[in-house]
């Protein structure tokens, strides 16, 4: 009896310790993140002679004497351990810090867990707005119940019923997505331009995400329009693209080009181990990782694209517009604003990409984002967003940030 009692006490004690430890850990995490961001911006600023962004911004605020209202903005993504998740977190945190907002991140989950998670997070309280990657009518209903406006980022529902469901809510402000169709199309096109006529494609299972479905559609449409390009094989297994490489290679030694709906370090490693790195096979795909440069240098990769987190920043701007003075940029919420990916085709472009699209300074800095916000730029309109989207190229970013980032 005594032994079991002791066990009970120990259990409660460990519980307390574990929970308090993680709580403290959690807090230091957040503060560390904040410090990181301010540190990096000050680092960047230290190297310039002109006034720094954050510096000038606070000066401006101090000068105008008004303090921006504090909003609590919630961001939803599937998980923050992957590269894109990290970029999202960084970029959104950056914008929120610059504009006196509190950023809250949570993992969306799937199925009915997604609905439950949103319910709980919103109950925690005081959320003023939600930016979500992936959404559905059920969650819109929850958001509406808690009076939270919603903007979508990097994804938009594909099913008609879902779209009409979500857009029927007044608090739905619209969405901003990446032109996945074009990405798929361009991937195939670049392989074609590199001389490949026998190709393979590794996609993701249909229905899993609209973004991937659209890329697949782009790929297939290009193939249809160019019958002299032959698709030797395609596969749609979730997350196992790196296994396609040895399989395809074994079955089709005549492969000239391989396209992927999503690139990753694992993929590059697989290509390496299959000895395809000698340049006989060309590759193209979405998402740029650390190894991409190497493969461009060796002439294996001919096309890549990335920079999705910029889209999330635009979504943030749309939300902020509504929060600060009720401006609704998008009047017809059934159509998302489409933005191109940042495409790279050479090693030099890769280097530029890493330098300028890395998160030391996000693609839109705190000052530049003002262009999209009615409160600071009363002339901004929906059309303005469209042309702003059109200008989203690597070149544009280099022009804007060239002197703000030094090696």
Decide whether 48 or 262 has the Cβ nearer to other proteins.
Answer: 262
Query: Which of 61, 80, 194, 327 touches other proteins by CB under 8 A?
Result: 80
CB of 252 to other proteins, least distance (A): 24
From residue 161, give the alpha-carbon distance in Å to each of 82, 157, 176, 209, 295: 31, 9, 19, 16, 42
Question: How does DSSP classify residue 372?
Answer: G
DSSP for 289-321 reads -TTHHHHHHTT-EEEEEE-THHHHHHHHHHHHH
Residue 386 in the binding site for other proteins (CB under 8 A): no
Stretch that binds other proteins, among 4-12, 91-99, 175-183, 343-351 (CB under 8 A): 4-12
CA distance 233 to 252: 9
Q: CB-wise, 104 or 373, nearer to other proteins?
A: 104
Q: How many residues bind other proteins (CB under 8 A)?
A: 53
Stretch 7-66 residues interacting with other proteins (CB under 8 A):
7-8, 11-12, 14-15, 18-19, 22-23, 25-26, 29-30
What minimum distance in Å lies between the beta carbon of 330 and other proteins?
21
Closest CA to 44 of 381, 374, 367: 367
Hey, which residues between 155 and 184 contact other proteins (CB under 8 A)? 158-162, 165, 168
Q: Is 334 in the site for other proteins (CB under 8 A)?
A: no
Q: Is there a contact between 339 and 392 (Cβ–Cβ < 8 Å)?
A: yes
Task: Report the residue from 115, 171, 220, 232 that binds other proteins according to the rule CB under 8 A.
Answer: 115
Give whichever of 148 and 361 is closer to other proteins, judged by the CB atom. 148
Determine, following the binding rule CB under 8 A, whether residue 138 of this chain makes contact with other proteins.
Answer: yes
Nearer to other proteins, 26 or 358 (CB): 26
User: Among candidates 311, 310, 392, which has minimal Cα distance to 358?
Assistant: 310
Please select the residue that binds other proteins; options are 36, 68, 70, 116, rule is CB under 8 A: 116
User: Any contact of residue 144 with other proteins (CB under 8 A)?
Assistant: no
Compare residues 244 and 340 and give the one whose CB is closer to other proteins: 244
In this chain, which of 42, 123, 226, 377 binds other proteins, going by CB under 8 A?
123
State the Cα–Cα distance between residues 190 and 304, nearest whole angstrom.
Answer: 9
Task: Using alpha carbons, list the distances in angstroms from residue 144 to 138, 163, 169, 269.
Answer: 10, 16, 7, 45
Q: Which helix (H) or strand (E) holds 178?
A: strand 172-178
The one among 38, 48, 83, 141 contacting other proteins by CB under 8 A: 141
Comparing CA positions, the residue from 181, 187, 143 lying closest to residue 339 is 181
Q: Which region, judged by CB under 8 A, interacts with other proteins, from 118-126, 265-273, 293-301, 302-310?
A: 118-126
User: Which tokens belong to 227?
Assistant: 């019958």
Q: Of the candidates 112, 228, 278, 383, which one interacts with other proteins according to CB under 8 A?
A: 112
The correct pick among 37, 52, 54, 117 for binding other proteins (CB under 8 A) is: 117
Long-range CB pairs of 396-403, under 8 A, 24+ apart, other chains included: 397/342, 397/356, 397/357, 397/363, 398/352, 398/356, 400/368, 401/356, 401/361, 401/365, 403/48
Q: Which of 395, 291, 308 is nearest to 359 (CA)?
A: 308
The neighbour count for residue 391, using CB atoms within 10 Å, is: 14
Select from 98-106, 194-202, 312-320, 399-407 the region that touches other proteins (CB under 8 A): 98-106
Write the CA distances from 158 to 71, 136, 214, integer angstroms: 30, 10, 9
What residue ranges bind other proteins (CB under 8 A)?
A: 1, 4, 7-8, 11-12, 14-15, 18-19, 22-23, 25-26, 29-30, 79-81, 104-107, 110-117, 119-121, 123-125, 136-138, 141, 158-162, 165, 168, 205-208, 236
């Amino acid at each position: 009896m005594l032994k079991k009692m002791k066990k009970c006490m120990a259990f409660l004690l460990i519980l307390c310790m574990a929970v308090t430890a993680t709580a403290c850990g959690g807090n230091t995490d957040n503060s560390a993140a904040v410090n990181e961001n301010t540190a990096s911006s000050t680092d960047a600023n230290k190297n310039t002679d002109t006034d720094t962004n954050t510096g000038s911004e606070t000066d401006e605020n101090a000068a105008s004497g008004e303090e921006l209202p504090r909003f609590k903005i919630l961001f939803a993504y599937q998980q923050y351990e992957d590269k894109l998740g990290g970029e999202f977190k960084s970029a959104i945190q950056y914008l929120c810090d610059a504009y006196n907002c509190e950023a809250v991140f949570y993992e969306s989950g799937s199925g009915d867990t997604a609905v439950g998670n949103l319910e709980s997070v919103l109950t925690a309280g005081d959320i003023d707005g939600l930016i979500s990657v992936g959404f559905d009518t059920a969650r819109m209903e929850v958001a509406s119940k808690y009076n939270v406006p919603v903007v979508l980022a990097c994804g938009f529902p594909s099913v008609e019923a879902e779209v009409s469901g979500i857009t029927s809510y007044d608090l739905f402000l619209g969405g901003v997505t990446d032109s996945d169709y074009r990405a798929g199309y361009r991937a195939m096109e670049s392989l074609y331009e590199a001389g490949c006529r026998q190709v393979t494609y590794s996609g993701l299972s249909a229905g899993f995400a609209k973004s991937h479905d659209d890329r697949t559609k782009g790929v297939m449409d290009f193939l249809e329009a160019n019958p002299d390009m032959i698709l030797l094989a395609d596969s749609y297994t979730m997350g196992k693209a790196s296994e396609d490489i040895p399989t395809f290679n074994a079955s089709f030694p005549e492969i000239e080009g391989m396209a992927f709906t999503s690139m990753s370090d694992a993929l590059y490693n697989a290509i390496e181990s299959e000895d395809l790195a000698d340049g006989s096979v060309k590759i193209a795909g979405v998402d740029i990782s650390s190894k991409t440069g190497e493969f461009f240098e060796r002439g294996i990769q001919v096309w890549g694209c990335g920079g999705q987190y910029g889209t999330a920043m635009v979504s943030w701007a749309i939300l902020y517009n509504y929060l600060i003075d009720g401006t609704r940029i998008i009047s017809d919420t059934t159509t998302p604003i489409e933005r191109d990916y940042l495409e790279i085709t050479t090693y030099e472009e890769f280097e530029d990409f890493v330098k300028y699209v890395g998160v030391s300074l996000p693609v839109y800095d705190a000052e530049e984002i003002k262009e999209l916000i009615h409160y600071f730029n009363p002339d901004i309109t929906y059309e303005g967003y469209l042309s702003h989207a059109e200008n989203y190229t690597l070149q544009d970013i280099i022009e804007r940030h060239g002197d703000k980032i030094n090696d």
